[in-house]
Amino acid sequence: MTRVPTLFALERSVQAMNDRRAALVDAQEQLSTGKRLRSPSDDPAGVAQAERFRARLARVQIERRMTDFAKDALGQADNLLGASVERIQYAREQLVAAGNATLGPQERAMLAQAIRSAREQLLALANQPDGSGGYVFGGQGGAGLPFSPAGAPAYQASPGERKTGLEAQFTTSLDGRAAFVDASGGRSVFEVLDDVTALLENATASGAELAAGLDSALSGVDTALERLLVQRTRVGEQLRALDARERLVESGELDATGQLSKLVDADYAAAISEFQKHQTALEAAMIAYSQIARLSLFDKL
pLDDT by residue for the chain (301 residues), tens only, comes to 445 455 555 566 566 566 556 555 555 565 555 565 555 555 677 677 777 878 888 888 899 899 999 999 999 999 999 999 999 999 999 999 999 999 999 999 999 999 999 999 999 999 999 988 899 999 998 878 999 988 888 899 999 999 998 888 999 999 999 999 998 878 999 999 999 999 999 999 999 999 999 999 999 999 999 999 999 999 999 999 999 999 988 888 888 877 777 776 654 455 565 555 555 655 555 565 555 555 554 454 4
Q: What is the pLDDT of residue 262?
A: 74
What's the rounded Cα separation, in Å, for the pair 85 and 125?
11
User: Within its chain, how far is the Cα of 38 from the centroid?
Assistant: 33
Q: What is the pLDDT of residue 16?
A: 59
What's the rounded Cα separation, in Å, for the pair 235 and 223?
19
Q: What is the pLDDT of residue 184?
A: 81
Report CA torsion sign: 186, 183, 240, 89.
positive
Q: What is the pLDDT of residue 270?
A: 56
Looking from the CA of 85 toward its CB, the CA atoms found within 13 Å total 14
CB 265 within 8 A of CB 36: yes
Q: What is the CA radius of gyration of the chain?
A: 39
Q: What is the pLDDT of residue 279?
A: 58
Q: What is the pLDDT of residue 186?
A: 85
Looking from the CA of 178 toward its CB, the CA atoms found within 13 Å total 19
Phi, psi of 167 (to 5 degrees): -80, -30
What's the rounded Cα separation, in Å, for the pair 76 and 50?
39
Q: What is the pLDDT of residue 142?
A: 81
Q: What is the pLDDT of residue 14?
A: 62
DSSP assignment of the chain, as one string? Answer: -PPPP-HHHHHHHHHHHHHHHHHHHHHHHHHHH-BS--SGGG-HHHHHHHHHHHHHHHHHHHHHHHHHHHHHHHHHHHHHHHHHHHHHHHHHHHHHHHT-TT--HHHHHHHHHHHHHHHHHHHHHHT-B-SSSSBTTBTT--SS-SB-SSSS--B-SPSS-EEE-SSS-EEEE-BHHHHHB-TTT--BHHHHHHHHHHHHT-TT--HHHHHHHHHHHHHHHHHHHHHHHHHHHHHHHHHHHHHHHHHHHHHHHHHHHHHHHHHHB--HHHHHHHHHHHHHHHHHHHHHHHHHHH--GGGG-
Buried b (16+ CB within 10 A) or exposed e, 210-233: beebbeebbebbebbbebbeebbe
Taking the model in full, what pTM does it have? 0.73
